[in-house]
Structure formats: C-alpha cells, structure tokens
C-alpha cells in the first residue's frame, strides 16, 4: 500500500488540452467576478448583464458559458469534475484509493483558492437557491465516485460503492468547511492530513471487502520487554500498510 501522504501528489490529474483549459479558466474567472458582485450587491440584486460587463464579455458569451446565473458560481466544480473523469479513465491498481486521491485533489484546489472560496461560502450560506445548487453539486461527486467504483470493481455491491463515495465526500466536506470557516490556521488539516483520514475510510470499506473474500493472518513477534503501547503502535502501522 502506498503512503497516504502522497495522495495529493498522485492525484495530479492530466490536464485537458490547452484550448479547453483556457476556456475552463475563463469560466472560473467569470465565476470569481460574479462571486465578488454577489458579495457586494447581493445575489438577487446582481444581474447577468452586470456580471458580463464586469467580466468584459458579452451577454451572448456569458450564456454560452453558463446556462443561468445559478450556474456561474460553481464553475470550478464543473472543471474539477471533468478532470476527475479524465483521471478515472486511467488505469489504477487500487480503485478505492483512486477515489480518495480525487477527493484530495478537490481539497487542494480549494485550499489554493481559499480567499475566493471563503467569499463564495458566505454568499451560498446567505442564498437559499445557491444552497440547493450546492447540494446538487455534492450529489454529482457522489455519483461520479460510486459509478467509477462499480465500473472498476464489477463484483462490488452497489450499496457499498454508494456508501464509500458518501463517506469520502462527507470526510472531505467536513475538513473543507472547517478550513474555510476557521478564524486562524491552528489545528487545520493540510492535504496530507486529509489524505490520511481518507486512507482510514478506504481501509474500513476495502478492508472489509477483502476480508469477505479471503482470510488473512498477521503474526507479530516481540521481545518480552516490549512496552504495550509500542506493540500496539507497530501492529497498527502494519495493518494500515496492508
């Protein structure tokens, strides 16, 4: 089993072609401008015309990029989901870990954009229609993650794939919200810390599936002088590496 602290590095997904990447970044830039306008003037009071003018694009260009004002605020999620689809199209030795890596990638991207992500969080919490859209966005990640597991592990019970996807996303979102709403950085997880937590989630699910298919025996030998907490620590580390 590879080191969970390397998850964010393994999740450095293949970037889309340059033209598509530029278009994605353009959409995210427009979304960031919209978020600032929503913060300054309120979501309901801000029109698509105002967003387009502030972003320096025409209304027709705006509506080519976004279906509605509701869509604009979550443009970076659309980009991330596309990159996750590309990542899942690659070969992975451990599909459970691949899902954890994808979640770690999302966390890292939002950590890099923490200032604007914090502004968006405030706007979303103040706007019921955006809270509803955020719930829909979470369900999109769950569907992508569980569908990938079911494709990669054909014998897996669908409910296990759904439960695992939900557990990964719940763990990610808990730490993401804690980071976004923290007064200072004390005690917050970095991407490696999140990777370790997701690794533990993976072990609860993947470990149980492995046990259902085969029995494994771990034998440990220690000198009589070994301290109990040292024995427990070594065994725990060994089990985590299986």
Structure confidence at residue 6 (pLDDT): 45
CATH classification at residue 223: 1.10.357.10
Cα angle 86, 190, 187 (rounded to 5 degrees) comes to 150
Structure confidence at residue 173 (pLDDT): 93
Structure confidence at residue 23 (pLDDT): 53
Looking up tokens 């959409």, which residue turns up? 27
Range of the domain at 22: 4-241
Number of domains in the chain: 1
Q: What is the pLDDT of residues 207-232, one digit of tens each?
A: 655 444 444 555 666 666 666 666 67
Structure confidence at residue 158 (pLDDT): 93
Q: What is the pTM of this model?
A: 0.73
**Residue ranges of the chain with per-residue pLDDT less than 50:** 1-22, 210-215
Structure confidence at residue 9 (pLDDT): 42
Looking up tokens 């029109």, which residue turns up? 47
Structure confidence at residue 116 (pLDDT): 93
User: Please, are residues 175 and 189 in contact by the beta-carbon 8 Å criterion?
Assistant: yes
Rounded CA gap, 109 and 25, in Å?
13
Residue 238, C-beta contacts closer than 8 angstroms, at least 6 positions apart: 218, 220
User: Please, are residues 235 and 217 in contact by the beta-carbon 8 Å criterion?
Assistant: no
């Amino acid at each position: 089993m590879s080191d969970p602290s390397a998850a964010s590095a393994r999740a450095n997904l293949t970037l889309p072609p340059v033209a598509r990447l530029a278009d994605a970044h353009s959409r995210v830039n427009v979304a960031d401008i919209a978020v600032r306008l929503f913060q300054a003037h309120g979501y309901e009071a801000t029109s698509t015309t105002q967003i387009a003018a502030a972003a320096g694009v025409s209304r027709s260009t705006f509506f080519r990029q976004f279906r509605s004002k509701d869509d604009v605020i979550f443009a970076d999620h659309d980009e991330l989901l596309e990159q996750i689809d590309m990542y899942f199209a690659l070969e992975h030795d451990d599909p459970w870990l691949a899902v954890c890596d994808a979640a770690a990638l999302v966390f890292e991207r939002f950590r890099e954009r923490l200032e604007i992500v914090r502004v968006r969080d405030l706007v979303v919490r103040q706007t019921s229609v955006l809270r509803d859209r955020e719930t829909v966005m979470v369900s999109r990640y769950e569907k992508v993650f569980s569908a990938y597991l079911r494709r990669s592990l054909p014998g897996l019970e669908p409910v296990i794939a759904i439960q695992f996807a939900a557990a990964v996303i719940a763990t990610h979102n808990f730490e993401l919200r804690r980071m976004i709403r923290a007064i200072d950085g004390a005690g917050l997880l970095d991407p490696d810390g999140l990777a370790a937590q997701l690794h533990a989630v993976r072990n609860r699910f993947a470990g149980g599936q492995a046990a259902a298919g085969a029995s494994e025996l771990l034998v440990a030998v220690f000198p009589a002088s070994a301290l109990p907490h040292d024995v427990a620590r070594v065994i725990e580390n060994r089990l985590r590496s299986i």
